[in-house]
């Protein structure tokens, strides 16, 4: 019988059965910055990782670094505590820990006689364009009493005009749509498409909204000076509804009175974001968010968003589990940590849009902001590195994000025979950018052909590629005539300056020529690509004489070298432009030039690029791949920085820079390239991200868990250098009803107990087995109920341990749809196989933590426990 030491892709219910320890735990790692409300370029609020341990006094930030006011207070049995974002506020709650998944950042705290979970959910729905285009995020605050008692609990939250990017000349209103209470702020005298110096939107509407919730909590609201509004809550646990004119230093606030909260727990959910009716100006026409074809105004959209919470939460948890599990299988737990931290950031540069005039949902486009580097619109050499995440989650997105570039190139304004660098100098105005573009003719032409081929191959949409055949052949002809003797020009790594005869560009050109050859079954292009590859590798034009590595510049610069990441699409597309020996050559060479913290981009730099690391690792041997993954993992766990995931960082102090320090870039979408290993291993559309049917559950429904743990083990797969056919999809839509069944109290307790468990700081012992009475492996026939008792934790605790964590794992195998009863009568309908985990903590100080937990489960197969000692 298989025994699980960690769980992937299931709802996890935890039971706290002992006194919480004081140590804080952040899983799977403590990142440089946590995504909080991260949906698009203007709804992008983060928590610096170095503030997570001090959450009550933390200051969240816009991606560019400016402070944002967003606070949460709680009143427990008449005493007010700060939970989040209230520096100088009331008594601080005790932070127990935090966790992140692909779509959530979750923090747990204790205050008085209560436990709290703050669940920041930014849904990622690659196949649900309405949900994906909604510019809002969720915050759910779950509360439960400690020690099985009851507690009187009220929740308060406020924000201010820092969300608008200005602090004066602001108007707001409070309205009600359905069950939703909605604050909206606008800057007076708005200029559409104008940004602040910190790149916040100066047009549109800031939204903060909530509902009474499933427990029908008493919801009140108010606006006024921060000290006055918070004072109301502190004194009475509610707000008086006042809405005076806006003044500097004002906040708008909600308060929920949860009443006497018992073991079942209670929670409330908020929606927050920046709504823009006009999203992008594309060639003189306004484009709007996709959702506005269904929800024409902001109040109706927000009301829908809150009503959709239960389904969005369940689908997000399923997607979280699918991504974490697939990444772990592809390259191990460290890789899973990297990939899950990248998802929200990759999508947060995108606006899923339709024409504002026609609202035609059959013609969607994705507009992308080149965040933190130069702010261009749909920069082609940014679309290129991001493609692996789209390829895995919804390959159709590759078309929607390249289509704006193609349309611009085809309208006759661009008079060159090569592709443009971008379609707008400053997001969100895509006016063509005819003057002042970076000169990247080979780079962008090959990028566009490779992206087009990826879309055509993964979707078999030959009509689309044929409809743009004239453009694609023009770009192919340019590459055929200009790739061997390159003029001085930039590559995607433009910080290296304009250079002639860059080997990495020639590699990309060879792959691009083969890509168009495969797309149109054209031998002329295929032969041109093969001939260029032959020159570069077989005839050593782009290598040293002994063929130990590709050079940075060709010919005759044999001592130079470069990371040959541009061979990666050759493997994904199965073009065989380069022989396997070329991949093996690079794979063997990278470890020999590794610096202190990783492989530099080339022989002239002391820094590297995280996306190119994962591209290069994906096509290398398992050992070299793991080296790349572990180096990047080391970077994200180094606390030297506190900015959103930077894709460029120092790997050497040769030139006086701090190793593992970030180098300028932050919050950029190219982290989608971290999916490169997963894309090559699993193929296109390999994670099913389709949404489940909508739920009628109220918005205050239980948050579905917060975190999924991942088996901390190395991948046992072979070399990743040989492409394989895509396997069947890893479904993320399974069992959503089960994931929605977790109670708020379980969620709060789960994270609290997880926070007290140092599961990443000690090596688990070998699992011991506790056999269930009358175990059965049957998955058919009538139920064979097994009943038993877990042993006391105190019998498993080391006498010299500070803390021991005992993880009980029950594995239940039953037919799909079979009703399973577990832990005192809670019932849910699960799909086979079902796995549940029970976590307890115990100390050796006394035997007061002795407990006996009974279980009753249909089709019980096995129980195992693992102890972890700190």
Rounded Cα distance, 812 and 773, in Å: 14
Count of structural domains, the chain: 2
Instruction: Classify 580 in phi/psi space as left (phi over 0), alpha (psi -120 to 50) or beta.
Output: alpha
Tokens linked to 729: 């999809």
Measured distance CA(698)–CA(178) in Å, rounded:
12
Question: What letter would DSSP give residue 785?
Answer: E
User: For residue 688, what pLDDT is reported?
Assistant: 85
| DSSP calls for 677-724 | HHHHHH-TT-EE-PPPPP----TTSPP--S-------------TTS--
For the stretch 241-253, pLDDT in tens is 999 999 989 999 9
DSSP string for 360-408:
-TTS-EEEEB-TTTT--BS-HHHHHHHHHHHHHH-THHHHHHHHHHHHH
Nearest-angstrom CA–CA distance, 400 and 379: 14
Cβ–Cβ < 8 Å for 716, 235: no
Domain span at 212: 26-297
Domain end residue (candidates: 271, 297, 323)? 297
Is residue 171 packed enough to be buried (19+ CB in 10 Å), middle (13-18) or exposed (0-12)? exposed
pLDDT at residue 106 in the model: 98
- Please check whether residue 467 lies inside any domain of the structure: no
Q: How far apart are CA 571 and CA 574, in angstroms?
A: 5
Q: Could you give the CA distance from residue 127 to residue 330 in angstroms, rounded to a whole number? A: 23
pLDDT value of residue 692: 66
Q: Whole-angstrom Cα distance, residue 366 to residue 670?
A: 15
DSSP code, position 192: T
Is residue 429 one of the residues assigned to a domain?
Answer: no
Residue 616 lies in a domain: no
- Predicted TM-score (pTM) of the model is 0.81
566 token code pair: 């541009």
Mean pLDDT of the chain: 81
Cis ω on the peptide bond leading into residue 288 (within 30° of 0)? no
Q: What is the pLDDT of residues 432-452, one digit of tens each?
A: 999 889 999 999 999 999 999
Among the three residues 272, 297, 322, which one is the final residue of a domain in this structure?
297
CA–CA separation, 491 and 442 (whole Å) = 8
Q: What is the pLDDT of residue 748?
A: 33
C-alpha 812/C-alpha 91 separation (Å) is 44
Are 366 and 352 contacting, i.e. CB atoms less than 8 angstroms apart?
yes
Token pair in block for residue 186: 């606008």
Mean pLDDT (10-residue bins), the chain, 870 residues = 26 29 83 98 98 98 96 98 96 97 97 96 97 98 88 97 86 95 93 94 96 86 97 97 93 96 90 98 98 98 97 96 96 97 98 98 98 95 98 98 98 96 97 92 98 97 96 98 94 91 98 98 97 98 97 95 98 98 98 97 96 98 98 92 94 88 92 98 90 51 34 31 32 34 32 30 30 29 34 41 35 34 28 30 27 32 36
Q: SS in 3 state form for 219-237?
A: EEEEEEEHHHHHHHHHHHC
Q: Is residue 421 part of a domain?
A: no
Specify if 673 maps to a domain.
no
**Quick check: 651 and 596 in contact, CB under 8 A?**
yes
Cα 365 → chain centroid: 21
Domain annotation covers residue 636: no
Structural domain contains residue 290: yes
Tokens of 852: 């006996």
- How far is 695 from 736, CA to CA, in rounded Å? 10
Sign of CA dihedral 294, 296, 301, 304: negative
Residue 797 within any structural domain of the chain: yes
Distance CA 606, CA 650 (A): 6
Q: Are 809 and 866 in contact (CB under 8 A)?
A: yes
The CATH number for 189's domain is 2.70.98
In 44-62, which positions are buried (b, 16+ CB within 10 angstroms) versus exposed (e)? bbbbbbebbeebbebbbbb
Q: Which two tokens stand for residue 294?
A: 């269904």
**Among 264, 281, 297, which residue terminates a domain?**
297
Positive or negative CA dihedral for 483, 488, 490, 496? positive
């Amino acid at each position: 019988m298989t025994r699980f030491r960690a769980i992937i892709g299931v709802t996890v219910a935890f039971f706290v059965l002992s006194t919480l320890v004081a140590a804080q735990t952040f899983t799977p790692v403590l990142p440089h910055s946590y995504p909080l409300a991260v949906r698009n370029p203007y709804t992008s609020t983060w928590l610096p990782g170095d503030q997570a341990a001090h959450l009550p006094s933390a200051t969240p930030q816009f991606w560019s670094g400016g402070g944002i006011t967003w606070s949460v207070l709680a009143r427990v049995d008449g005493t007010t505590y700060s939970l989040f974002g209230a520096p100088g506020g009331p008594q601080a709650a005790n932070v127990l820990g935090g966790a992140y998944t692909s779509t959530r950042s979750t923090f747990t705290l204790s205050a008085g006689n209560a436990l709290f979970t703050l669940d920041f959910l930014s849904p990622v729905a690659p196949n649900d364009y309405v949900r994906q285009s909604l510019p809002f995020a969720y915050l759910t605050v779950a509360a439960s009493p400690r020690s099985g008692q009851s507690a009187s609990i009220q929740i308060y939250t406020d924000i201010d005009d820092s969300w608008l990017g200005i602090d004066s000349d602001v108007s707001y209103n409070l309205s009600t749509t359905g069950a939703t209470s909605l604050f909206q702020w606008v800057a007076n005298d708005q200029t559409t498409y104008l940004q602040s110096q910190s790149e916040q939107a100066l047009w549109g509407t800031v939204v903060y909204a909530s509902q009474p919730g499933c427990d029908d909590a008493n919801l009140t609201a108010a606006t006024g000076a921060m000290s006055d509004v918070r004072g109301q809550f502190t004194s009475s646990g509610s707000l008086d509804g006042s809405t005076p004119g806006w003044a500097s230093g004002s906040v708008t606030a909600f308060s929920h009175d949860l009443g006497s909260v018992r073991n079942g727990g209670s929670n409330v959910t908020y929606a927050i974001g920046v709504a823009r009716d006009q999203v992008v100006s594309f060639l003189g026409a306004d484009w709007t968010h996709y959702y506005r074809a269904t929800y024409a105004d902001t109040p109706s959209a927000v009301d829908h968003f809150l009503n959709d919470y239960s389904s969005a939460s369940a689908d997000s948890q399923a997607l979280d589990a699918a991504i974490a599990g697939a990444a772990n299988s592809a390259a191990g737990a460290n890789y899973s940590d990297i990939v899950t931290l990248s998802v929200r950031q990759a999508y947060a540069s995108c606006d899923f849009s339709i024409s504002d005039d026609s609202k035609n949902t059959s013609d969607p486009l994705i507009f992308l902001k080149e965040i933190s580097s130069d702010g261009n619109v749909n920069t082609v050499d940014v679309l290129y590195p991001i493609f692996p995440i789209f390829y895995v989650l919804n390959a159709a997105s590759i078309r929607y994000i390249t289509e704006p570039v193609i349309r611009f190139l085809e309208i006759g304004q661009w008079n060159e025979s090569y592709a443009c660098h971008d379609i707008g100098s400053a997001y969100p105005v895509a006016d063509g950018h005819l003057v002042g573009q970076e000169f990247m003719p080979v780079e962008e032409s090959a990028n566009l052909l490779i992206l087009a081929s990826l879309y055509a191959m993964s979707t078999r949409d030959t009509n689309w590629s044929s409809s743009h055949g004239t453009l694609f052949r023009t770009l192919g002809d340019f590459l055929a005539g200009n790739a061997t003797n390159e003029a001085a020009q930039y590559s995607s790594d433009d910080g290296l300056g304009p250079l002639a005869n860059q080997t990495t560009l020639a590699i990309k050109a060879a792959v691009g020529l083969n890509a168009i050859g495969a797309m149109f079954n054209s031998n002329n292009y295929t032969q041109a690509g093969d001939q260029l590859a032959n020159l570069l590798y077989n005839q050593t034009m782009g290598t040293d004489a002994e063929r130990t590595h590709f050079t940075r510049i060709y010919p005759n610069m044999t001592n130079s070298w470069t990371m040959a990441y541009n061979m990666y699409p050759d493997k994904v597309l199965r073009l065989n432009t380069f022989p396997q020996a070329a991949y093996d050559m690079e794979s063997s060479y990278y470890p020999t030039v590794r610096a202190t913290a990783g492989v530099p981009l080339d022989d002239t730099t002391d820094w590297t690029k995280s996306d190119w690391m994962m591209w290069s690792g994906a096509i290398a041997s398992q050992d070299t791949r793991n080296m790349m993954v572990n180096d990047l993992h080391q970077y994200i766990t180094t606390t030297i920085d506190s900015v959103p995931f930077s894709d460029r960082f120092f790997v050497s102090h040769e030139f006086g820079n701090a190793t593992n320090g970030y180098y300028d870039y932050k919050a950029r979408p190219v982290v989608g390239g971290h999916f490169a290993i997963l894309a090559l291993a699993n193929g296109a559309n390999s994670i099913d991200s389709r949404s489940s049917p909508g739920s009628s559950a109220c918005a205050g429904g239980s948050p579905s868990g917060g975190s999924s743990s991942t088996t901390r083990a190395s991948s046992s797969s072979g070399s990743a250098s040989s492409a394989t056919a895509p396997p069947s999809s890893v479904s993320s839509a399974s069992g959503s009803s089960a994931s929605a069944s977790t109670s708020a109290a379980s969620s709060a307790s789960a994270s609290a107990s997880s926070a007290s468990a140092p599961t990443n700081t000690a090596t688990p012992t070998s699992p011991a087995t506790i056999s269930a009475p009358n175990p059965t492996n049957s998955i058919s026939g009538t139920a064979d109920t097994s009943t038993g008792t877990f042993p006391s934790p105190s019998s498993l605790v080391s006498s010299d341990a500070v803390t021991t964590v005992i993880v009980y794992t029950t594995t239940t195998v039953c037919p799909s749809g079979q009703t399973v009863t577990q832990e005192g009568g809670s019932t849910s309908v699960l799909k086979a196989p079902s796995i549940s985990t029970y976590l307890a903590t115990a100390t050796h100080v006394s035997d007061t933590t002795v407990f006996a937990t009974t279980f009753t489960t249909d089709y019980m197969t096995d129980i195992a426990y693992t102890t972890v000692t700190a």
